[in-house]
Amino acid sequence: MASATSDGRKLFDSMIYRELLKKELDAKLGEFEDFRRLRDERVEACIEVLRRLVEFGPGSFGNASYPGAIPSAEVTECAGFAVRGGFEWQNHAEAREWASSVLNSRTTFAADGSQIYLGKEMDLPVGAIQVGWFENPHDASKSYVKQARFEILGPNDLLIPSDENLNPEARVGARRFHAEVEVVREFLFAKKGWRERGERMPVAFFDGTLLISFALPHTKLQQEFAQTMAKLVKDSEVAGVPLVGFVDRSLSRDLIALISHVEPQIVTDGIYDSMLFPVSGAEKPNEFLGWGDRSAFCFSKRKGLEVFVPDGEPSVGFVYLATGSKGLPARIDIPAWIFSEEMLDDLIEVVLAESVVGLGYPYALETADATALISFEDRRVFIEALAGMEAGFEAAAGFGRKEISKARRR
C-alpha cells in the first residue's frame, strides 16, 4: 500500500508494487497461454459440431427432453447460424442517423434496480431498494420519463418466518427483483393496443436474462423468481408488447448443451455460447459476426426451467447480437411469440439502434442503471438519516462506531 508521507514515497511504493505485479504475471504467463490454447481448441470443436447441426433441419430436437436449445427454421434458411444484418456505414454519424430513423416516434423503456442492506453496520435489520426506469418516446413534442421508487425494508419485511431460513439480505434482493418486474409489467400493459392507436412498435428492455436459472435443486425463493419471470414473458404476449432481456457478457450454455446432446464425448468445460460467435471487424466466414450480425433464433429448452416450457413449447428464445465491432456478442433473450409473429427483425433493429446511441450498450438500459444507482453518497445519507431518526437511536439500533465515523468523514 502506498504511504501518505510524501509524493516520493508514494511513487517508490508504486514502483515496488508494479515490479511485484509484473513478476507474478510473468510467472503465470505460460499457464494463461496453455489455458487459452486449450479453450480455443474446444471452441473450434464446438463450432464444427454447430456447423453440422445445419444438416439436422428445424424440428429435429423438438421431442428431446431438455437439449438446451432448439434451432429455429432460420438456421436452414441462412444455411448456418449466422444471420447477416447487412449494415454498412462509413462513420458513426451515419450510424446515428440510421438509429434516429429506427427510434423516431417509438417508445422504448428500461428498468434497473439497486439495493442496500446494513447487516454488519447495525443490529437492527434494515435495508432499502431503489428501482429506476427510463421511458423515452423519441418524440420532440413529448417528454421522456426518468423516475425512481425508493423503499425501506424493516424487521417486518426481513425477518418473516420461513422454512428456508432465508437471510435478510436475500429478502432485500428478492424485493428488488420483484419491484423491477412490476415496473416493466406496468409499461407493457400501458402500451397495450399500440397497433390500434397507430403507434410504432414499443420495446421494453430488462437488464439481464429472462431465463432465471439456478443450480438444482431449486429453493422455493428461486422457484418464485422463475415463476415471476415466466409470468412477465406471458404478460408481454398478452399485451402484445415486445420484451427483451439484454445480457452483455453472457455465461449461458444452451447451445453448448445441444452440442453435448449431439456429441456426448466432446469436452465443453469453460466454454459458453457467446464464444461460438466471435465478432470481427473484418469480413469473416461461417459463424464470425460483423457489427449488426446475429445468430439464428433458437428456442431455449433448459433442464430445470420447466416453467418456461408450458405445454412442452418453449416460451423464450435467444440470439447473440454483435452490438460492437469486436469482442463477444451480447445475448438477447426474446419471448418466442415475437419470433412466431415475425417481429424479430424489427426488434433487433431497435436493440441495435439503442446500442448505437449508447456506443455498444443500449442507451435506455444505461440511463435506467444511472437512475437506479444507490451511490456511496446515498448510502452515507441513508445511514446518517437512520442514526438521527430519534434521540439515542445509535445505541438502540446498535450502529457500529466505525460505520458512524466513516459516514461522517467520507
Give residue-wise pLDDT tens across range 48-62. 999 888 888 767 776
User: Tens of pLDDT along 205-218?
Assistant: 999 999 987 765 66
Contact 284, 53 (CB under 8 A): no
- Give ∠ CA 187-304-314 in degrees, rounded to 5: 55
Q: Sign of the C-alpha dihedral, residues 173, 174, 175, 181?
A: positive
Could you give the C-alpha distances from 323 to 79, 348, 392, in angstroms and in order? Answer: 23, 10, 54
As a whole number of Å, the end-to-end CA separation of the chain is 20
Q: Is a pLDDT exceeding 50 seen at residue 3?
A: no
Q: Nearest-CA neighbor of 233 among 314, 291, 148? A: 314
CA 292 to chain centre: 19
CA atoms within 13 Å, Cβ hemisphere of 212: 22
| Residue 161: predicted pLDDT | 72
Among 45-54, 162-171, 220-229, whose mean pLDDT is lowest? 162-171
pTM attached to this predicted model? 0.87
What CA–CA distance (Å, rounded) separates 327 from 338?
27
Task: Label residue 395 by pLDDT band (50, 70, 90).
Answer: very low
Q: Is a pLDDT exceeding 80 seen at residue 124?
A: no
Q: Is a pLDDT exceeding 80 seen at residue 409?
A: no
The mean pLDDT value of the chain amounts to 87
The two beta strands, 330-335 and 243-247, are antiparallel
Sort 296 into a burial class: Cβ within 10 Å, 0-12 / 13-18 / 19+. Answer: buried
Contact 168, 125 (CB under 8 A): yes
What CA–CA distance (Å, rounded) separates 119 from 82?
48
Q: Nearest-CA neighbor of 177 among 238, 118, 222? A: 222
Q: Nearest-CA neighbor of 158 among 126, 198, 201? A: 126
Sort 360 into a burial class: Cβ within 10 Å, 0-12 / 13-18 / 19+. Answer: middle
Calculate the CA dihedral of residues 95, 96, 98, 101 and round it to 10 degrees.
170
Q: Sign of the C-alpha dihedral, residues 333, 201, 92, 207?
A: negative
Contact 186, 133 (CB under 8 A): no
**DSSP conformation class of 335:** E
| Cell 418464485 belongs to residue | 224
